[in-house]
Amino acid sequence: MSTHNLRYTDENSNSINRRRRRQSTLNSSNPVTDSLPIDCILVCSHNDDKKNDNEQNNNRNKMSRSERRQRFENHLTNKQGLKLERVKSITDRIEYVKIHTPFEILLLTAEKIRMKLPIEKIVAKELGTSTHNASCWHRFTEWLKKPFRLDPSLIRDDIDYYTAVYSPNIKKFTPFFKELRGSKELYFTPSERSLLTYELLSRAHFDGDGDGNDYDDDDDDNPQEPVARRPVINTVDGLRSGLKRPGIARLITKKAYDCCFPLHEPLRDNLTNIDNTDLNDREKLQKHWATMRQCLKFQPLSLIRSYMGEKIAFYFALCGFYNLMLIPPSLVGLIIFIYGAASVATDQPTSDICGSYGESTYMCPRCDKTCPFWKLSDSCVYSKVSYVFDNTATVVFAVLMSLWARWFIEFWKRREATLQYHWDSIDFEENLEPIRPEFEREAQKKGEKNINPITNSKEPFIPMNKRVPFFLIATLVVLFTMAIVCTTLFATIVYRVQMDYILKQTSAKEYSSIIITVTSAVMNLICSLILSQFYYWVARRLTDLELHKYQSKYDDSLAIKIYLFQFVNFYSSLFYIAFFKGRFDEYPSKYGEPSSKDFTEQCDPAGCFVELSIQFLIIMTGKQIINNLMEFLFAMCGACVCRNRDKNTKIEQWEIDKDLNNFESTTLIDEYLELVIQFGFVTLFVVAFPLAPLFALINNLIEVRLDAWKFLSKYKRPIPHKASDIGIWSDIISAVSFLAVLTNAVVIAWTSDFIPQMAYRALQSGGTGLSGYVNWTLSSFPIADYNQTGTMPSGAPSGLTYCRYRDFRESTGPSYSHTSVYWNITAARLVFIILFEHIIFIFIYLMQWLVPDVPKTIQDKIAHERYIDQHERWASKTYEENIQRSIHSSQVTPINVNSPNYDTKSSLNIKSSINIKSPVNIKSPVNVKSSVNVKSPTRQSKQKTIFQTRVSPADIP
Q: What is the pLDDT of residues 359-397, one digit of tens each?
A: 889 888 877 777 778 888 888 888 888 888 888 888 889
pLDDT for residue 506? 73
Q: How confident is the model at residue 93 (pLDDT cuts 50, 70, 90)?
A: confident
Tell me phi and psi for residue 214, to 5 degrees. Answer: -110, 105
3-state secondary structure labels for all residues of 43-84: EEECCCHHHHHHHHCCCCCCCCHHHHHHHHHHHHHHCCCCEE
Q: How far is CA 498 from CA 486, 578, 846, in A?
A: 19, 22, 52
CB 346 within 8 A of CB 720: no
Please give the average per-residue pLDDT across 243-272, as a whole number.
81
CB 488 within 8 A of CB 523: no
Averaging pLDDT over each range in 261-275, 423-437, 642-656, which range is the top one? 261-275
Domain borders along the chain are 35-115+166-209+244-263, 295-425+432-641+651-756+828-850
- Partnered with residue 931 across adjacent β-strands are 913
Q: How far is CA 348 from CA 248, 391, 396, 765, 772, in A?
A: 72, 12, 21, 13, 8
- DSSP state at residue 607: B
pLDDT for residue 724? 86
The pLDDT of residue 680 is above 80 = yes
The pLDDT of residue 402 is above 60 = yes
Q: How far apart are CA 732 and CA 725, in angstroms?
A: 13
- DSSP state at residue 686: G
Q: How confident is the model at residue 425 (pLDDT cuts 50, 70, 90)?
A: confident
The closest of 832, 655, 652 to 746, measured between CA atoms, is 832
pLDDT for residue 701? 93
The closest of 206, 578, 204 to 390, measured between CA atoms, is 578
Q: How far apart are CA 107 and CA 119, in angstroms?
A: 14
CB neighbours of residue 301 within 10 Å: 20
**Which residues neighbour 827 within 8 Å (Cβ) at sequence distance 6 or greater?**
none
Q: How far is CA 141 from CA 137, 146, 513, 575, in A?
A: 6, 9, 47, 39
Please give the average per-residue pLDDT across 164-188, as a whole number.
81
The alpha-helical segments, DSSP class H, found in 662-772 are 667-684, 692-709, 728-746, 754-763
CB 546 within 8 A of CB 558: no
* Residue predicted with more confidence, 631 or 164: 164
The pLDDT of residue 793 is above 60 = yes
CB 349 within 8 A of CB 383: yes
The closest of 191, 150, 151 to 310, measured between CA atoms, is 191
The pLDDT of residue 951 is above 60 = no
* Residue predicted with more confidence, 876 or 224: 876
pLDDT for residue 912? 38
Averaging pLDDT over each range in 221-225, 235-239, 445-449, which range is the top one? 445-449
pLDDT for residue 118? 84
Q: Which helix (H) or strand (E) holds 805?
A: strand 802-806
Residues in the chain: 957
Q: How far apart are CA 79 and CA 56, in angstroms?
A: 27
Averaging pLDDT over each range in 66-70, 204-208, 510-514, 744-748, which range is the top one? 744-748
**Which residue type occupies 453?**
P
- DSSP state at residue 718: P
CB 930 within 8 A of CB 912: yes
Q: Which helix (H) or strand (E) holds 86?
A: strand 83-88
**Which residues neighbour 611 within 8 Å (Cβ) at sequence distance 6 or greater?**
513, 517, 577, 581, 603, 604
CB 223 within 8 A of CB 61: yes
Tell me phi and psi for residue 731, to 5 degrees. Answer: -65, -40
**Which residues neighbour 516 within 8 Å (Cβ) at sequence distance 6 or greater?**
496, 499, 500, 503
The pLDDT of residue 27 is above 50 = no
Q: Of 172-186, 232-246, 301-315, which gets the smallest average pLDDT?
A: 232-246
What distance separates the 2 farthest-apart alpha carbons in the chain? 129
Average of per-residue pLDDT values in the chain: 75
CB neighbours of residue 105 within 10 Å: 17
The pLDDT of residue 445 is above 50 = yes
The closest of 635, 681, 696 to 661, measured between CA atoms, is 635
pLDDT for residue 124? 54
pLDDT for residue 596? 59
pLDDT for residue 673? 93
* Residue predicted with more confidence, 935 or 190: 190
pLDDT for residue 231? 35
Tell me phi and psi for residue 460, to 5 degrees. Answer: -55, 145
The pLDDT of residue 676 is above 90 = yes
3-state secondary structure labels for all residues of 917-957: CCCCCCCCCCCCEEEEECCCCCCCCCCCHHHCCCCCHHHCC
Q: Considering just the CA atoms, what is the radius of gyration of the chain in Å? A: 35
- DSSP state at residue 690: T
The pLDDT of residue 12 is above 50 = no
pLDDT for residue 510? 66
Cis peptide before 814 (omega within 30 of 0): yes
- DSSP state at residue 714: I
Please give the average per-residue pLDDT across 947-951, as a whole number.
36
Q: How far apart are CA 756 and CA 114, in angstroms?
A: 63
Q: Is 254 helix (H, G, I), strand (E, B) or coil?
A: coil
Q: How far apart are CA 897 and CA 900, in angstroms?
A: 8
Q: Which helix (H) or strand (E) holds 780?
A: strand 778-782
**Which residue type occupies 7?**
R
* Residue predicted with more confidence, 876 or 894: 876
Q: Of 16-30, 258-272, 398-412, which gets the smallest average pLDDT?
A: 16-30
Cα three-residue angle 714-718-719, rounded to 5 degrees: 170
Q: What is the pLDDT of residues 576-622, one digit of tens each?
A: 888 888 776 667 766 666 555 556 677 777 777 888 888 899 999 99
Q: How does strand 911-915 pair with strand 116-121?
A: unpaired
Portion of the chain with pLDDT greater than 90, in percent: 16
CB neighbours of residue 432 within 10 Å: 14
* Residue predicted with more confidence, 791 or 313: 313
The pLDDT of residue 59 is above 60 = no
Q: How far apart are CA 439 and CA 339, in angstroms?
A: 59
Please give the average per-residue pLDDT across 44-53, as a whole number.
66
DSSP-derived secondary structure for 420-470: HHHTT-TT--PPPPPPPHHHHHHHHHHT-EEE-TTT-SEEE---GGGTHHH
Please give the average per-residue pLDDT across 118-129, as a whole number.
63
Q: Is 304 helix (H, G, I), strand (E, B) or coil?
A: helix
Tell me phi and psi for residue 86, to 5 degrees. Answer: -105, 140
Handedness of CA 623, 624, 627, 629 (dihedral sign): negative
Q: Which helix (H) or strand (E) holds 85?
A: strand 83-88
Q: How far is CA 181 from CA 103, 176, 185, 295, in A?
A: 14, 8, 9, 32
The closest of 184, 188, 6, 195 to 83, measured between CA atoms, is 6
The pLDDT of residue 19 is above 60 = no
pLDDT for residue 864? 79
3-state secondary structure labels for all residues of 87-103: EECCCCCEEEEEEECCH
Q: How far is CA 451 from CA 436, 456, 463, in A?
A: 17, 6, 12
Q: What is the pLDDT of residues 689-735, one digit of tens each?
A: 999 999 999 999 999 999 999 899 888 999 998 888 898 999 999 99
Q: How far apart are CA 219 and CA 203, in angstroms?
A: 19
pLDDT for residue 515? 84
